[in-house]
Structures are given as C-alpha cells and as structure tokens.
Amino acid sequence: MDQRMITFIRALRAAGVRISLAETQDAMHGVDTIGIGNRDQFRAALRTTLVKESRDQGVFDYFFPLFFGSGAPPMHDNIPGDLSPEEQQMLQDALRSLMGDLQALRDLLNQLMEGKPFSDEQLEQMGRQSGLQQGSEMYQRQWFERRMNRQAGLQQAKKLIEQLLELLQEMGMSDEALEQLRQLLQENAQGLTEQIANFVGASLAEQLASKEPEPKPDLLDVPFTQLGQSEADAIRDEIRRLAARLRSRASLRQKRARAGQIDPRRMMRANMRYGGVPVELKFHTHHVKPRLVVICDVSTSMRYCAEFLLTLIYELQDQVAQTHSYIFIDDLTDISMMFKEKQPQEAVSEVLYANRPGYYNTDLGNSLNTFRRDHFGTVTSKTTVIILGDGRNNFNNPRLDIAEDMQKRARRLLWFCPEPPVQWGTGDSDMHHYARLADGVHKVSNLRELANAVDQILADG
C-alpha cells in the first residue's frame, strides 16, 4: 500500500499539484493512524494532507479512484438463471443461430451472460494490442478507451444484443422477459466498459507517475499569450510581492537622490569668502518621482498585459507623483477615478468587467483623437506618456499626427509593446510608424519584461 500511495502522489505532482516531502510524510502517518478499512476515511485523510488549494481538489478526485478503485465493476452473474427453462432453451437456440462461427463474439456474449469481468490477462492483452504502453498523458485516455473497446468487441456486442432480442421476440419470448434480459445485458456491458476505462486511466496515471515531472517555467517568463487561468491567478498573487520589491528599489534610489551628489561649481562659488577652502558643502538634489499618463489597449490580445501593468503601477503609487489612466478598444475611456476609490486589483477587475472585448475593432487612431479632444491637458513637459498596445489598428487611420504632438508636448513618450520588432508593420500593424515617433519602445511580452520596463521608468523619473 505504501508503494501505491507513493505512486499516487507522484501522479498528482506530475499533474501539477504541489506536494512537499513533509506533506507526503503527513499522508503516510495519517493513513497509518486511521487504516485502510474505511475507504471514505482513507480518502479524506489523503485529501486533507495532500491538497492545499481548491483548484487541486478536482485533480485529486480524478486520480484517487484510478489508484484506489473499488475493484471489479458490479455485474449480474448467470443471467439465464433468471429465465424459465423454456426461455433458457429459446436463448440457447437464438445464440447458436445468431453467432455462427464468430468465436470471439460468442465468448464475449457468454461473458456478458455469466456476468464475468475481464481478467487481468485479458486487459493486459487488449492494452498491448491498443498500444497503451506508449501512452504517458491523461488527455490520451479517451482515445485508448475507444481502441480497447474495439479490441474487446463491445461495440459489436451491443449491436449483437439488439439482434438477439429481435430474434427472441420472433421466437415468442414475452416482452417482460425481453426487457429484463435487455437491461441485465446492457448493465453488464456498461460494467465491462467502465472496467476498461478504469484500467486505461490507472495505466496512464502510473506511467505518468513514473516520468520525472518537467520543470515548470518561472511565471515571470511565461508569455501573456500562453497564460492559462491558473497561471493568471498565480500572477495576480505575485503582483503585490513584485511591487514590494520594486518599491524597495525605488525607495533606495530616492534616498540616495535626497542625499545628493557633490556640486563642485556651487560649492566653489559658496566658499569664495573662505578663500576657496570648502567649508560649506553643496549638493545636487534630484526628484525621481515620475508623472504618468497611461493609455492601455484592453482588446482580447492585450487584456492580461493591460491588467498587470495597471495593477503594478497603482500598487506603486507612493513612488509616482501623479497618474492619469485611460483604456481603449475602439474609443478612449478615462478610468483614473476608479483607482481613487478602490484597491488596485479590485479596480482593475471592475474596469475589465465593464469594458469587455466584443465584435468591434480596435481603433487606436480614434482613441488618440478622443484623448486630444478631452484629456490633452494632462500632458505637460514633466509627464511620461506610456501607451500599451501592439499597434494593430485594423487598417484604421493611426493618427500619427496626434502621437507626434504628444511626444513633443510630453517629457517623453514610451511604447509598451508585446510584439518583437520583426512583427511590426505586418498585417494591420502600424507599430513601425509609432516606434519612430516614440522616445523608446519596451517589449513587454511577459511579467519580467513588464516589471523591468516599469522599474526603468521609476529609476529615471
């Protein structure tokens, strides 16, 4: 049993459940304490010690019956024994008439009549014929189940059952006996199908457990376009820790800036009255908190990137002098007030919920036009403007003139783009035009690149 539990735990790990060595030991001690006599208590002990997160409960529930199943499927044995002697004779005559020389089908139908599950030898043989030993991933389960069902002849057997019942009806068997026979045979066939399914699942799970789990990439390096729901949730949890690290670095830079650097020119001028002896020291001082205008594309391809950028910037508001935020798909929306009333993650969640992507096209040009008309006053010579987008404009007017005016008016205009330069200008991309008008373009295809870009802005406020 210990080895079975270890294999089960390895399968859970291979499926993505985080289980430490200490938790494995807790599971072993828990089972030693309660025993394995009560299956429900045994299952509860394993689940309590091994599963920490709600999203892993489904994985546990999927694998547990594959390793600790209840045995052979329930089947009705000796079905002909429930019939009268006359009906039993009819059944034997019908079987001889129906099957002829199909020995394999005859054996399977007899197995259904007797209610015998497949033996281990039968399952192993069908598995070898189906290539099951080559499988290693759980998504292959249904495919191997279909192959083994064909190997066992279950699909043909179901058709044969219908033909058998039709023949018995012609021979005069009562409707009540026919219905009873149909139900018992179908339930036994379903039992054999479930036995194959459990065998395939258990075999694949054991083969999965025997593999060394592939190292998962650091979440910081997973491209936004490849994030699954669980990975996105993990990044949301990571954002605050990431913001804390950036805040510490920014605070250290500001502390150094407040201390300042020696200013030789001011110091010489101030100390002329002392005959040039440097009695009074003079320093350069720098203010490093930037003023930001952030314009984010929240269309389908950009939503994760926009969500994480907005969350990160507003988690760092104590390091920023002022922030005005806008989002766009086909037109611009001012979202700055949302962040004055709510916590960053809550505000971002509500903004994205209220501005869902639809069947309309991204139109950055129209959004820039709205910005110039209604919000151009937020851009000053001290403002850093950040535009987050891939520059794909669905062949609409890109309004490069407005982007140029923004660059001239702002301290600097920066683009955060998830696409590499090789993709600029392809299809409906206007990024190659926007890049020429920007003071810099940061590639932000994953969280590490996004965090580095934000850190550079804080460092050069």
Bridge partner residues of 334 (DSSP): 326
Q: What angle do CA 224, 388, 227 make, to 5 degrees?
A: 10
Q: Is residue 81 scored above 60 in pLDDT?
A: no
**CA proximity to 365, closest of 417, 420, 427, 295:** 295
End-to-end CA distance of the chain: 62
AA letter at 374: D
Note the CATH number of domain 229-261+288-459: 3.40.50.410
The single residue listed with the structure tokens 């020291």 is 281
pLDDT value at position 74? 60
Q: Which residue has the higher pLDDT, 402 or 12?
A: 402
Beta-bridge partners for 305: none
- Is 257 a residue whose pLDDT tops 60? no
pLDDT (average), residues 440-448 = 92
Strands 322-328 and 332-334: antiparallel
Q: According to the model, what pLDDT value does residue 434 have? A: 94
**In this predicted structure, what is the pLDDT of residue 427?**
87
- Given a cut of 80, is residue 108 above it in pLDDT? no
| Paired tokens of 56 | 């892993």
Of 272, 280, 335, nearest to 309 (Cα)? 335
Split at pLDDT 50, 70, 90, the class of 297 is very high
228-233 CB contacts, 8 Å cutoff, 24+ apart = 230/16, 230/55, 232/304, 233/55
More confident residue, 376 or 199: 376
pLDDT at 198 over 70: yes
> What tens digit of pLDDT does each residue of 371-396 get?
999 999 999 999 999 999 999 888 89
Cβ(281)–Cβ(322) under 8 Å? no
Phi and psi angles of residue 447, each rounded to the nearest 5 degrees, phi first: -70, -35
How far apart, in whole angstroms, are the C-alpha atoms of residue 263 and residue 8? 68
| Cα 317 to Cα 3, 30, 40, 247, 320, distances in angstroms | 53, 48, 51, 9, 5
Find where tokens 């955060």 sit.
416
Question: Could you state, in order of their start, the residue ranges of all structural domains in the chain?
Answer: 2-67, 79-210, 229-261+288-459
The tens digit of pLDDT for each residue in 226-256 reads 888 878 888 888 888 888 888 887 766 666 5
As given in the structure block, the two tokens for residue 50 are: 């091994």
pLDDT tens-digit profile of 95-104?
Answer: 656 555 455 5
% the chain with pLDDT above 90: 23
Beta bridge mates, 284: 261
Three-class secondary structure of residue 76 per DSSP: coil
Is the pLDDT assigned to residue 76 strictly greater than 70? no
Residue 90 above 70 pLDDT? no
Indicate the helix (H) or strand (E) that contains 315.
Answer: helix 303-315
DSSP-based three-state secondary structure for 180: helix
Distance CA 351, CA 417 (A): 21
Tokens representing 317 are 């508001």
pLDDT surpasses 90 at 270 = no
Q: pLDDT tens-digit profile of 320-345?
A: 888 999 999 989 999 999 888 888 88
- Give the whole-angstrom CA distance, residue 125 versus residue 103: 17
Q: Which is higher by pLDDT, 142 or 432?
A: 432
pLDDT of residue 101: 43
Residue whose token pair is 């926007």: 434
Tell me which residue of 363, 365, 335, 331 sits closest to 351, measured CA to CA: 335
Proportion of the chain above pLDDT 70, given as a percent? 84
pLDDT surpasses 80 at 114: no
Residue 180 has pLDDT above 50, yes or no: yes
| Closest residue by Cα to residue 325 from 397, 378, 392 | 378
